[in-house]
Structure 1
């Protein structure tokens, strides 16, 4: 019978290792909260020593901020891609309808909690605050771009796409603010609030953004 020696550790390229650490931290942030994103917790997630994580992120605050950005950026790209996968099919109306369907589903709850968590912590963590502001602006810009495209084709009627995007995002965030406390009670009264506000902002008839 032959014996096996110790497994050989694979040395990863620095960029690959850093991405792996941020992705693991984002996973922890989404499922457990940003307070749980520590060097030791992320090391446990990856099965490595905390010192390895600390080599790439001497400051836990930087890791928390990048974890937040990684998670919210991935969600944004799935909800509102910068470039539509199928320009002929992914019209502004269809894309926005899909956006509201996904953001009002339970699948979006963890991201809603992450935003709520990050806004609270950003009061005390300047690095995280900068990342939160950057992501807020980016999400608004993606919605603005979609509204502008729909206005050009006269699908939407909107004189100020940026202002409309801000109001729509505020409505989504406002509904999400209750995610940790009264989700069951809030469901019926405000389930369609953001969608209704968007229809008004874009000159659409009631129900135009409901799932087809």
Structure 2
């Protein structure tokens, strides 16, 4: 039961983080959402900063697991990469982009969150690098620097994510931005333009 309650608290805090922002996570807010006293939340998370860091980790992990799902590990690396990048490009993960933008900003002031952001960046970078290495080994990608290619792709994704908070009426709308991470990956991996979308 204590583990279930702790997981419920984390799920609630992660949902608040994705929908409203990490700064909206307080012991009182989570307690109100769950219909309990703040003291119960404080029993599991004595400091709100620890709850914020774990909520970010929970949300980022779950979102990454939907971007690179385990049940697709049997697919060819080029198909996994195509699905990963198209999912990111289609706008479904706007809340995730906002979460990362929010987390990076707040991590300047919160050491626990800074550690969590760094850990999640490492997990994502490692997973993407391994995917690229598998694609090279399968003869699908052409690069002698899988980590460098992964960094180009992830920095492009992060750069695009920096626009996540712009309202639709002021957001720059240009076709180049729509598939920028996809075209970056194709360039870095020696693929013809349009190859990744054509895999779907």
Which TM-score bucket, shorter chain as reference? over 0.9
Q: CA separation of 1:57/1:40 partners in 2, compared to 1, >3 Å: closer, same or farther? A: same
How does the TM-score come out when normalised to structure 1? Answer: 0.89
Q: What secondary structure sits across from 1:200 in the alignment?
A: helix
In the alignment, what sits opposite 2:118?
133
1:60 corresponding residue in structure 2: 48
Residue 121 (structure 1) shift: 0.2
Q: Which residue of 1 aligns with 2:98?
A: 113
1:76 matches 2:64:
yes
State the 1:105 CA deviation.
Answer: 1.8
Residue 166 of structure 1: how far off its partner (Å): 1.2
Question: What is the distance in 2 between the residues matched to 1:142 and 1:128?
Answer: 21
Q: 1:204 aligns with which of 164, 169, 191?
A: 191
* Cα 1:181/1:135, change in 2 over 3 Å: same
Contiguous gaps of at least 5 residues in structure 2: none
Q: Which residue of 2 aligns with 1:7?
A: none
Q: In the alignment, what sits opposite 1:94?
A: 79
- Map Cα deviations across residues 60-103 of structure 1 (whole Å, 9 max, x no partner): 0000000001001001111113x44461xx11111111111110
Is structure 2 residue 132 aligned with structure 1 residue 147? yes
Show structure 1 runs of 5+ residues with no match.
1-12
State the SS of the aligned residue for 1:209: helix
Higher relative contact order (CA 8 A, sep 6+): 2
Which secondary structure state, in structure 1, belongs to the residue aligned with residue 134 of structure 2? helix
User: Where does residue 17 of structure 1 map in the other structure?
Assistant: 5
Q: CA RMSD in A?
A: 1.4
Aligned residues: 197
Closer, same or farther: CA 193–151 of 1 in aligned 2, 3 Å: same
Once residues 38 and 5 of structure 2 are traced to their aligned partners in structure 1, the CA distance between those partners, rounded to angstroms, is: 13
- Aligned partners of 2:193 and 2:105: how far apart in 1? 34
Distance 1:32 1:69, change over 3 A: same
Question: Structure 2 length normalisation: TM-score?
Answer: 0.94
